[in-house]
Amino acid sequence: MTVEEFRNSTFEISVQADWPVHVRSLWYVAHNNWQAAHNLIDHLDDVKSSHVHAYLHRLEGDDWNAKYWYNRANQPVFKGSLEEEWIALVTLYLV
């Protein structure tokens, strides 16, 4: 699935249950449901979850907490727009 196909899937009513948790979280972001996105990964501490978690806190405007999660993910703080980061994360984790 391409990023564009994934973006188009956000018009569907429900998330695909067989997608990895990181991808499902990003799908909820595209549906403007930050809380559902956060609930999926808040209790996880693996690198991928930490990376998406960092993005979610950046999206929320909590830069301190975002930096903490970028550090946990061994990733630099993303310097582009939130949209650019969403696309980068989808591209990275959609595989």
- Distance from C-alpha of 67 to C-alpha of 94, rounded to nearest angstrom: 23
- Distance from C-alpha of 53 to C-alpha of 46, rounded to nearest angstrom: 10
Convert the pLDDT of each residue in 23-36 to its tens digit. 899 989 988 899 99
Convert the pLDDT of each residue in 42-89 to its tens digit. 999 899 999 999 999 999 999 999 999 999 999 999 999 999 999 999
Q: Collect all residues with Cβ–Cβ distance below 8 Å to 26 and sequence separation of at least 6.
A: 37, 52, 86, 89, 90, 93
**What is the chain's alpha carbon radius of gyration, rounded to the nearest angstrom?**
12
Give the predicted TM-score (pTM) of the model: 0.87
Helix (H, G, I), strand (E, B) or coil at 6: helix
